[in-house]
Amino acid sequence: MPAKAIRVHDFGGPEVLRWEEVEVPDPGPGELLVRHTAIGLNFIEVYQRAGLYSNPLPFVPGNEAAGRVEAVGPGVREFQVGDRVAYGTAPVGSYAEVRVVPADRVVKLPRDVGEKVAAAVMLKGMTAEYLLRRTFPVRPGQTILFHAAAGGVGLLAIQWAKALGATVVGTVSTDQKAALARKLGCDHVVVTSREDFVDRVREVTGGRGVPVVYDSVGKDTFAKSLQCLAPRGMLVLFGQSSGPVPPVDPAVLQKGSTYLTRPSLFAYNSRREDLLESAAALFEQIESGHVTVDVQHSYPLERAADAHRALEGRKITGSCLLLP
Ligand SMILES: NC(=O)c1ccc[n+]([C@@H]2O[C@H](COP(=O)([O-])OP(=O)(O)OC[C@H]3O[C@@H](n4cnc5c(N)ncnc54)[C@H](OP(=O)(O)O)[C@@H]3O)[C@@H](O)[C@H]2O)c1
């Protein structure tokens, strides 16, 4: 079946995202054909487009979407034509009107979770889930530092961390982002263009530091994030929006006997049972109202390049959708 999709033929800047006709095959054994209602935009797609995370060329980028099942491949019993579904840990290929996807990467949507909300949260919200509940399980009364607090993952994570009973210190680059983070519960917001987050963490924790720093900014924040840790604290480096962190000497962890981990949602949710549990926990947070999803940005799918420019230009707050 012919369909429209964004395709990358050469790694590079946003201009390599080309709106093209592609041929979509019938679903094979264990696969579904899903027609997308909405597609989530994620920073990982910047890495894919630029070639930092490499895929064989040409490829359709994208990792997160929601829609309806249009056809079911042989051997698939869990899904039927018409089911409302979403995914956030499928192989690349979500920047498309319609695609084939492995059924074991897909979840059904609860009645009260709309397709646009699902497309906005599957990858980002399940990331918040594993970071806060499995990488470093946050306990009531703990103070945590979360960078890029007004970003896609950030806004979901700060709300979830509040629901877990934490005090949240968040970093953002502008006053507008600060206001948004504060509105969604961030207790101490550091505007990095004019304030040092290490000083603020020391002030908020009486000099002790925090038991965990969630750092997706990478190159620009890594060294200072380590300085924010309490003895035996954990630095969770889960991204590199400012660029990759250069190689580090393990001796940097010695002073406070601290821990460093570099986790990935794809590893945490690689087993189907983990994916289902992660998605269920996310839907529960949304249905209970602990985590709200207010999508402020959307672009037609064919203008994915503009969405990438805005994301890399730090212009996006919360989740952003691409609409086919
Ligand atoms: N490991 C995993 O499992 C996993 C899963 C999902 C996402 N991630 C990572 O989590 C991060 C957040 O993803 P997201 O999709 O929600 O993106 P996002 O947070 O909405 O966007 C990135 C944010 O990073 C901040 N930033 C700081 N320095 C930057 C720079 N030099 N260039 C661009 N942005 C910069 C900006 O916020 P300020 O302007 O406020 O500083 C920007 O808005 C990404 O690094 C992504 O790769 C990792």
Last residue of a domain, one of 238, 262, 286: 262
Tell me the average pLDDT across 18-28.
Answer: 98
Site to probe by mutation for ligand 1, drawn from 153, 222, 236, 312 as the one with most ligand atoms within 8 Å of Cβ, is: 153
21 vs 18: CA distance, rounded Å: 10
Residues 240 and 205 in one domain: yes
Instruction: Write down the pLDDT at residue 294.
Output: 85
Residue at a domain's end among 262, 282, 313: 262
In a domain, 189, yes or no: yes
Same domain flag for 231 and 197? yes
- Looking at residue 218, the DSSP 8-state letter turns out to be -
- Report if residue 127 sits inside a domain: no
Q: Which of 198, 199, 209, 215 is nearest to 255 (CA)?
A: 209
Average pLDDT over residues 301-319: 98
Q: Measured from the CB, is residue 157 less than 6 Å from ligand 1?
A: no
Mean pLDDT of 95-102: 98
Evaluate the omega torsion of the peptide bond into residue 140 and state whether it is cis, within 30 degrees of 0.
Answer: no
267 occurs within a structural domain: no
pLDDT tens digits for range 171-195: 999 999 999 999 999 999 999 999 9
pTM: 0.98
pLDDT mean over 134-149: 98
Residues 224 and 277 in one domain: no
62 and 18 together in one domain: yes
CATH code for the domain in which residue 6 is found: 3.90.180.10
* 128 lies in some domain: no
Model confidence over 204-220: pLDDT tens digits? 999 999 999 999 999 99
The pLDDT mean for the chain works out to: 97
Measured in angstroms, how far is the CA atom of residue 217 from the centroid of ligand 1?
6
The CATH number of the domain where 170 resides is what?
3.40.50.720
One domain for residues 103 and 145: no
Best mutation site among 216, 270, 297 for ligand 1 pocket (most ligand atoms within 8 Å of CB): 216
Among 262, 284, 306, residue at a domain's last position: 262
Mark whether 55 and 143 lie in a shared domain.
no
Residue 158 sits in which domain range?
139-262
Q: What is the mean pLDDT of residues 102-117?
A: 97
Q: Does residue 49 sit within a domain?
A: yes
Residues 117 and 211 in one domain: no
Q: Is residue 100 part of a domain?
A: yes
Q: Are residues 163 and 223 in the same domain?
A: yes
Task: Report CA(316)–ligand 1 centroid distance (Å).
Answer: 10
The answer to whether position 116 is within a domain reads yes
Same domain, 108 and 158: no
240 shares its domain with 294:
no
Let me know if residue 258 belongs to a domain. Answer: yes
More confident residue, 61 or 294: 61
In total, how many domains does the chain have?
2
Please list the residues that pair with 78 across neighbouring strands. none
Angle between helices 152-163 and 175-183 (to 10 degrees): 30
Please tell me whether residues 28 and 72 are part of one structural domain: yes
Residue 266 pLDDT greater than 90, yes or no: yes
Scanning 51-173, the segments in alpha helix (DSSP H) are 115-130, 152-163
What angle is formed at CA 294 by the lines to CA 292 and CA 295, rounded to 5 degrees? Answer: 140
Q: Are residues 101 and 179 in the same domain?
A: no
Q: Which atom of ligand 1 is nearest to the CA of 42?
A: 15
